[in-house]
Structure formats: structure tokens, C-alpha cells
A and B are shown apart, each in its own frame.
Chain A
């Protein structure tokens, strides 16, 4: 062991790269496969309603408003609760029959508080490592390493009860990571954090996904967070799938040009409509449908002719919020313009 140390230490970057590659391409089958998954509580509450989707490795955002079924889905994937009907596999293991095997390979960070206040972070995380099946020495080593990765240093020897919310969230993340899972399920990881804590947590999630090579599913109702760290987005609402696509498709450019003027918006809209463009007025902005390059010249000429005080001209992008404003999303794209943006139906 000791003699090998200098050799390995000489190529740290190579080693890291190997780990990333190994982590990235470890699974050839879909990470998660869900078919017609339905979960009802009693006869009245339907948490999941015939959900079907495949999830590939990466940092996947599971987005939906409160009560959309995110936590229920995570618990079913962990084998913690049974589905009413339908099936799902995680790492090619059936959630109904291989729950124990799944839970050995998956790390879970619940939404709610889950830490005993009178234990130290070190004691608690290494206890959880033991329960995850790591031998005692390995549990101690991994605990020290993981707590360092999440940014807990001297304070890890103090009782968790005295921690700030941000530190508690880090301990929660550390216990999910300590047994080196293939997949991390994070339920609202930025809950209760201030803006700085939120940034740090997102940065950490990004590092775990990209640098550590661990697949992550982040359930959140905050779309902006996923925009920053995710590679793929799954949007659910009322237990149904709204859309599942790479993040880029969600925020791609739309076919809308927003022309903002200080005054004379109505006159501009009239003039452009007379030129044969589809036009909509949205506050101070005049929205123009850009099917081809033609509108740019027409807008320039119109603004110049009318002598209007122009503020800006910009291509509008989809915002993630539009997902929920314009639901249902899988409906064919509405021709022309809707207020604020076009429906997320694909490239124009």
C-alpha cells in the first residue's frame, strides 16, 4: 500500500478521468424505466396517474409543483412504497421484487428533517455507512472523505443539533453519498436554504453529477435550480408526465421576436400587422412571429419610419415556467402567438 502511494499520486488527473468515464458509462440499460405507473392513496387521491418514461444517467431534474407526485415517485423507485399498478425498474432491477438490492445501490436524501440532534455528523454518517453494508474501517474512511466533499470540516465532531440548516442539508447529502451509490435521489435538496446556501448546494450537486460520475435525480419545485445544474428535465403535474427532454430543448429559442418601445407600441403593432406579420402586444413589448428572416428588416423600417424610441429587440426563449403556464405541453404547438411565448412544441 505504502509503496504504491507515490505512483498513484503522480497521476491524479488520470485517475480522476478514469473514474468519471467509469461512472458515466457504467449502465447500458436505461437507468430508470417506468411503465404505466399509478399510485392511489385510498379511493380519492391519485398521486401518480399512468406515468411512463425512461431516464438516462446524468443530472435529471424532476420538476413539478407541490403535490405533483415527485416524492411519491422517488419512494416507489426506492421500493419504499408499492405502486397501485404499472411497473418500474431502477438499474434494471424491478422495484417490486428487488427493493433491497436497489436500496444498496441508491442514495436517498429525503425532503424532511432526518437527523438525530444529539449525534455528531461523523458518528451519524459512519453509522449510516455501516447500515449500508460497508465494513467498519471503510465506513470510517468514506465518512471522512464524504464529509470533506460536502464541505464539513471541524464542525463534523459537534452534535448535529447545533448546525445551521445549510450544514444539516450537507449531512443529509453526505449520508446519501457515503456508500458510493450508482444513483442519488435528492428530494428538494435546497429546501430552507438562503441564496448562498442554495448556490453552494447546487454547485455540490453539479460536482457530484459531473465530476463524481454519479447519476442524480433532483426533485424540486424550483425550476430555476434545474436550469442551472440539470442535463435533462422531467416535468410532471398531477401525477402525469408533462414532458421529458434534454434541458436544452426546454430553453431553446422560440420563434418570437420581442420589440420593446417606450411609446407608440400600438402604432408599431398596427404597422407590422399591415406588413403581414402575426403581431401581439404584451405590455410595452410588441411580439412578432419570426418564421423567417423577413421580420427583422420590417421591424427596423417600421421603427425608423414611425420615429419610435426603441429600447430593445430580442429573441424570446422558453422559460421553464412556461411549462406550467402553457400546459398541456404535448398538445400541438399553437399557430401564431400566445401571450408571452409560444407553446413548447419543438423548433419552429
Chain B
């Protein structure tokens, strides 16, 4: 947009090569001021963009792009395989037996999501603390809790995109490859609610836990290690404890392991059976959903509390 007061104003006339540059000095801002809600929204979208390295240097984009491609890979691969299979007259029965389905997708890419959390969550909370930017945010019409919530929500939204985009590709592939498109859509419709719910729980839990870790550890390396440890160690320990014969302790450990909780909610939402070789305990499905809920709310509450007290 051209600024009318500082722009070069062309002089009318065929031969006149000159214009005039006006510099009127400082101009006051008399326009609208949108206040706190606008600030929160802006910070939310800034966090969402930053999670994928947008608005930052080229190097910041490497990790999210690689992990994003990896998260898409199973969906793209299976759609490609289905396309080939359909071309050779394989029919549609195959699509019910392929290993990559809606009910397995979240579990398939969970390692990638964990890596994404470890790589990107410290970028949001850690950077602001390391470089002192926090003082500038708090010096604006933003409350401390607004800051924490907007950042966490932005990151969870980024994870939701990471979870859902591959499944949308999966859906499009499945529907477009069949001859009876309306029927295929009808068949997949029942999966929409569990897919959304599972993706939301996964994004919330992974996002919440990794953000709370990075809120307490401004040093990037420690935050990365902490996030990966929190997502893997409880699961491993639970397996060992159950193997040693104590299933009660194993049960509790399972309920503090984010990846196990999400396996449980996945089985509950899609009404499938948990693999008993990998799952050590027998809990009602709703217990996992409750554990996920507690984990999400708890981690967000701890992060908000952290920023309410942090000195700038």
C-alpha cells in the first residue's frame, strides 16, 4: 500500500522526470487499537507458524519439514500402493487389510510426533526465555496467562495439523480409488469422530507435556532430552516392572506414560483390542481417556503457573 504522505508524488506532464519526496516526520497512529483478544490471537498464529519454522530463518524450517514429510509418508505410500493395486484389478477388499488405516495411523506416526515435539516445543517457550523476549510480551496488553495459553494452543494446533493432514490424504485416496464414491464416503464417515477425537487427544497430550517441559528448561538441549525421556522412559519402565511380576505398579506406570495412554484411548475410540504382547495391563478404555484429560489439563495448568511466577 502506498503511503500518501511519504510517497513520491509524480508531477503531471509528459516530460517532467522529477517528482517530490515529502517527509513529514513522525505521524501519530490514530487508527483502531484492538487490545487483548487481538494480541492473544496474534500470538496464537505466531506460535502456529513458528512451530513449522515459518517467519524464522531457513535452518529453522529443516526439522519441521523433514518430520512433516515423514508423518505424511505412510499415507502417501499406502495411497500409491492402492492406486497400483487398483490398476491391476485388485479390487477394494485389499483396503480393509492394509496395515495403515484410520485406527492405526496415530500410533504409526506417534514417534514422529514425539520427535516434532522435542524439536519444536523448546523453540516456542525456550527462545522467549533465553533471549529475554518475555519481558517485551509482558510489557504489553497481554496477561501472563494469556501468553502461556496462546503459545500452548498454537503448538497444539500445529500438532493437530501434523496428525490430521495425512489422514485427510488417506481419506481422499480411499474415496477416489473406489468406483462407488458415495458409498466409500459413507463407510468412512463413521471414522471421522474417532479420528478427530484421537488426534485431538494426541495433540493435546503431546503438546501440553512437551510445552510444560520446555517452559521449565530454557536451555534447548535439556528440553529436548527431557521431552524424549518423558515420552519413552515410563513406558519402558512399566514393561520391566510388569515383567518382574508387579502388575499393580505397572498399571500406574502405564497411566503416566503418554504414549501408552494414547494407545489406550485409540483402542477405546476405534473399539479395537490392545495388543496384549505390548500391553501389560487390563484397564477399562475410559481410564485412558481420563488419564489423557488429566494430563492435558494438568500440564497446561502447570505451564500457566510457571509463567505467572517467572521473573523477567
Contact = CB atoms under 8 A, between A and B. Distances in A.
Interface string B52-69: 000111011000000000
Contacts of B29: 134, 138, 142, 179-180
A115 B56 CA distance: 13
B24 A16 contact: yes
Contact of B140 (A8, A19, A131): A131
Nearest to B34: A133
Interface stretch (A47-55, A102-110, A274-282, A327-335): A102-110
Interface string B68-88: 000000000000000000000
A135 B140 contact: no
A5 B5 contact: yes
Interface stretch (B97-105, B130-138, B274-282): B130-138
Interface stretch (B38-46, B194-202, B224-232, B299-307): B38-46
A6 interface: yes
A80 B24 contact: no
A116 B127 contact: yes
A119 B141 contact: no
B190 interface: no
Interface string B118-134: 00000000011001110
Contact of A117 (B5, B128, B131): B131
A101 B35 CA distance: 9
Contacts of B35: 104, 133
A9 B9 contact: yes
B237 interface: no
Interface residues of A, number: 53
A141 interface: yes
Q: How many B residues are at the interface, by size bracket?
A: 35 or more
A112 B24 contact: no
B4 A1 contact: yes
A200 interface: no
A27 interface: no
B17 interface: no
Given A16-B25, A134-B29, A135-B34, A112 B132 contact: yes
Interface string B289-312: 000000000000000000000001
A80 B133 contact: no
A100 B132 contact: no
A127 to B, nearest CB: 6
Given A80-B312, A118-B57, A138-B29, A127 B141 contact: no
B1 interface: yes
Interface string B13-34: 0000000101111111101111
Contact of B56 (A16, A80, A119, A208): A119
B135 A112 contact: yes
B7 interface: yes
A34 interface: no
Interface in A2-51: 2, 4-6, 8-9, 12, 15-16, 19, 22-23
A108 B139 contact: yes
Q: Counting chain A CB atoms within 10 Å of each CB, which of B7, B23, B26, B132 scores highest?
A: B26
Contacts of B187: none
A32 B34 CA distance: 25
A337 B25 CA distance: 49
A135 B4 contact: no
B176 to A, nearest CB: 37
Given A104-B35, A130-B38, A4 B4 contact: yes
B180 interface: no
Contacts of A1: 4
Given A5-B4, A112-B132, A116-B131, A132 B28 contact: no
Contacts of A104: 33, 35, 140-141
Contacts of A145: 3, 6, 27
A110 B135 contact: yes
A123 B55 contact: yes
A138 B31 contact: yes
Contact of A103 (B7, B25, B60, B140): B140
A130 B49 CA distance: 15
A15 B27 CA distance: 9
Contacts of A159: 57
A213 B27 CA distance: 10
Contact of B39 (A22, A115, A130, A213): A130
A245 interface: no
10 residue pairs, one from A and one from B, having the closest CB atoms: A5-B4, A180-B29, A130-B42, A212-B26, A108-B139, A114-B132, A12-B24, A133-B33, A104-B141, A118-B57
Interface of B: 1, 3-7, 9, 20, 22-29, 31-36, 38-39, 42-43, 46, 55-57, 59-60, 127-128, 131-133, 135-143, 312
21 contacts: A9-B4, A15-B24, A78-B139, A80-B139, A103-B140, A104-B140, A106-B139, A110-B136, A117-B131, A118-B57, A130-B42, A130-B46, A131-B39, A131-B137, A132-B141, A133-B38, A135-B38, A141-B1, A149-B26, A180-B28, A211-B26
